[in-house]
Amino acid sequence: MAIGVFDSGVGGLSVHRALVQRFPSADLIYLADQAHAPYGGLPGERVVELTQMGCERLFEAGADLVVLGCNTASAIALRRLQQTWLPGFQRARGRPSNVLGIIVPTIEAATGLPWVVEPEPLPEKAEALEVLGIFATQGTVNSRVYEIEIDKRRGDLAVFSESCPQLVPLIEDGADRRVLAPIVAGHVEALTRRIGRTPDRAVLGCTHYEIIADLFAAALSLGVELIHQPRATADSLERYLHAHPEYDPGSSGERKFLTTGAPGPQNSIVEAFWGAPLRFEAA
Ligand code: DGL
């Protein structure tokens, strides 16, 4: 079998790359739904529908396990699909099949706690001692998933989110880094102003932003630790595969890159990030 990685576009490549490094002999299939990107401003129902279609395509292409390399799809669609579509799909397919998101691993990395913790009374709401900044799409920010889930687990960690709606379309279009840098700096400044100080740590909560992580690192003050979502996802998948031996990630190191958009080479920012030419095939 293979592991599928799904995103609206090229952002999930950051997760895919971390999985290639962690599981060099695994067979991996990447699907970019570039015909419908960006997802960040779409109505929730549409994100659910597109995410389901993307997962179905990856299962059809040979994946048994799909990782949503997209915060927006993980925040808006994953729980719905787990509740409504996935159980019936699994029964009909008749073999182990599952879809995993990237928000749970990121929250585990941000809180330093496993997702499922022994229920114990939370201490009195502490005055937040630490501030976490999240940069994400409008859809992810509106879902408030990071605020809600972190607040349940760590009363001493305050979360502030900033949506950066221009970045995904610009990265998909291969915009010049000189265009991207001031936009990133503007969002870092806006978040800093809202918090009243620089965050202690930050999450690039949209996988596309990882492709320009150096621009975020340059705009954030020195000493702000960036939580690396692709690494957190690889760690979590490693634990998952260990606990679920029914999923065999394959052993031939085969890689396929599919897109619902225009097949062919990807733009120069993506290739610079990837470190080699990259061609997508028609999905
Ligand atoms: N990479 C997706 C994410 O992590 C971008 C979503 C979009 O297409 O706006 O949220």
Instruction: Give the distance (Å) from ligand 1 centre to CA of residue 112.
Output: 25
* Residue 143 CB–ligand 1 contact under 6 Å: no
pLDDT score at 119: 59
pLDDT score at 120: 63
In angstroms, the CA 80 to CA 241 distance is 23
Q: Which residues of the chain have pLDDT under 50?
A: none
Domain residue ranges of the chain, discontinuous segments joined by +: 2-101+230-282, 104-228
Alpha helix (H) residue ranges in 85-164: 86-93, 103-111, 138-143, 145-153
**Residue 59 CB burial class (10 angstroms; 0-12, 13-18, ≥19):** buried
Ligand 1 pocket: which of 33, 34, 67, 71 to mutate (most atoms within 8 A of CB): 71
Locate the DSSP E strands across the chain. Answer: 2-7, 28-32, 63-68, 98-100, 130-136, 157-163, 201-204, 225-227, 255-259, 264-265, 279-282
Reply yes or no on domain 104-228 having CATH 3.40.50.1860.
yes
pLDDT score at 63: 97
Q: Which of 26, 206, 219, 283 is catalytic?
A: 206
CA distance to 60, 112, 113, 227, per residue, from 109 (Å)? 32, 5, 7, 7
Instruction: Give the distance (Å) from ligand 1 centre to CA of residue 163.
Output: 11
pTM, 2 dp:
0.96
CATH topology for 2-101+230-282 is Rossmann fold (3.40.50)
| Catalytic-residue membership of 164 | no
* Residue 8 CB–ligand 1 contact under 6 Å: yes
Ligand 1 pocket: which of 168, 211, 228 to mutate (most atoms within 8 A of CB): 168
Q: Do domains 2-101+230-282 and 104-228 have the same CATH topology?
A: yes
In angstroms, the CA 204 to CA 182 distance is 17
| Catalytic-residue membership of 55 | no
The pLDDT > 70 percentage for the chain reads 96
